């Protein structure tokens, strides 16, 4: 099964993908995480992407298309992938269609997490993650069980993203509305678009996604 999660910054793509990948054996591929790894490694792509990401704008299509094209063909994505943050423009979606058609791979679901953009600034400004294992948390909505200790790995160091400042989040939301929202009619026309209420509590969103994927 191959699935795309679409939604604005803060919609819960990463949170839900972390959960679904375990249950359904899908490989979670987040282009945001891949780009942050390039930035951390100081690679040529990372050096080019850093300033763009810090402004909250989109990195050029050709970089992302090459990056995902290399990643999606790895053996660990062969049983099924769960794309988070890609595609993000119609150009990226068209390139993905070509890649998949060339390998006779079908896209089963494009799931839109439907949220109210105004609530996303609060969600994102409370977000933090474990420095050791990457598990995601929120100051209000998803605290660690024991203060200061990661539930997943026991790590005690946490990080916040440099693009999570409120003014940058607003630029990211605008980029979503202008450049990514046109994907919705694109996938609707292909008959693969589903919608899930992303304003519900985290566990309820996971349950709804589970029902949708089981029905497949
Ligand atoms: P990326 O890393 O993809 O960021 P994003 O799309 O802005 O999305 P986020 O990761 O902020 O949100 P999310 O939906 O994953 O929410 P989360 O689950 O963490 O991209 C970063 C940058 O990289 C882009 O700006 C761009 O520059 C570049 N980039 C990446 N891909 C690209 C591409 N394809 N093309 C061009 N450029 C690209 O949840 C947020 C918080 O809310 C968490 O704290 C969580 O605990 C909490 N939360 C989640 N769900 C709920 C809920 N239901 N109720 C309450 N709280 C919740
Ligand atoms: Mg994310
Ligand atoms: Zn951890």
Q: What is the pLDDT of residues 72-85, one digit of tens each?
A: 999 999 889 999 99
pLDDT exceeds 80 at position 215: no
pLDDT exceeds 90 at position 154: yes
Segment 101-111, tens digit of pLDDT: 998 999 999 99
Asked if residue 31 lies in contact with residue 68, where contact means CB atoms within 8 angstroms, the answer is: yes
Asked if residue 6 lies in contact with residue 77, where contact means CB atoms within 8 angstroms, the answer is: no
- Pick the catalytic residue from 123, 172, 194, 208: 172
Could you tell me where the DSSP H helices lie in 6-82? 13-24, 31-41, 44-55, 61-72
- The ligand that comes nearest to the alpha carbon of residue 131 is 3
- 47 catalytic per annotation: no
Q: What is residue 214's predicted lDDT score, i.e. its pLDDT? A: 85
Q: What is residue 189's predicted lDDT score, i.e. its pLDDT? A: 97
The verdict on the CB of residue 9 being under 6 Å from ligand 1 is yes
- Pick the catalytic residue from 36, 50, 88, 123: 88
Q: What is the mean pLDDT of residues 52-60?
A: 97
The structure tokens listed for 45 are: 């792509």
pLDDT exceeds 70 at position 216: no
The structure tokens listed for 142 are: 């998803």
Q: How far apart are the first and last CA of the chain?
A: 9
Cα atoms in the 13 Å half-sphere on the side-chain side of 86:
29
pTM of the entire predicted model: 0.94
Residue with CA closest to ligand 1 atom 1: 32
Closest atom, ligand 1, to C-alpha of 13: 14
Q: What is residue 22's predicted lDDT score, i.e. its pLDDT? A: 85
Which band of pLDDT confidence, cut at 50, 70 and 90, is reported for residue 93? very high
* Pocket residue to mutate for ligand 1, from 10, 53, 83, most atoms within 8 A of Cβ: 10
Which band of pLDDT confidence, cut at 50, 70 and 90, is reported for residue 157? very high
Alpha carbon distance 6, 86 (integer Å): 8
The region that residue 12 occupies, defined by phi over 0 for left and psi between -120 and 50 for alpha, beta otherwise, is: left
Mean pLDDT (the chain, rounded): 95
Calculate what percentage of the chain has a pLDDT beyond 90: 94
Alpha carbon distance 18, 28 (integer Å): 7
Q: What is residue 6's predicted lDDT score, i.e. its pLDDT? A: 98
Closest atom, ligand 1, to C-alpha of 11: 14
Ligand 1 centroid to Cα of residue 120, in Å, is 10
């Amino acid at each position: 099964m191959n699935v795309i999660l679409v939604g604005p910054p803060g919609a819960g793509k990463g949170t839900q993908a972390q959960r679904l990948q375990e249950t359904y054996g899908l490989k979670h591929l987040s282009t945001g995480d891949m780009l942050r790894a390039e930035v951390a490694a100081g690679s040529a792509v990372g050096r080019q992407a850093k300033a763009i990401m810090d402004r909250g704008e989109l990195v050029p299509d050709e970089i992302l298309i090459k990056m995902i094209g290399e990643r999606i063909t790895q053996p660990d994505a062969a049983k099924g992938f769960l794309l988070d943050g890609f595609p993000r423009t119609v150009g990226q979606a068209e390139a993905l269609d070509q890649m998949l058609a060339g390998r006779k791979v079908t896209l089963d679901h494009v799931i839109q997490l439907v949220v109210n953009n105004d609530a996303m600034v609060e969600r994102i400004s409370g977000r933090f993650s474990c420095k050791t294992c990457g598990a995601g948390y929120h100051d209000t909505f998803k605290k660690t069980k024991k203060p200061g200790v990661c539930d997943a790995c026991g790590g005690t160091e946490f990080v916040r993203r440099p693009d999570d400042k409120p003014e940058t989040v607003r630029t990211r939301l605008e980029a979503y509305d202008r450049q990514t929202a046109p994907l919705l009619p694109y996938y609707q026309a292909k008959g693969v678009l589903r919608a899930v209420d992303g304003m519900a509590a985290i566990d309820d969103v996971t349950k709804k996604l589970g029902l949708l994927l089981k029905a497949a």
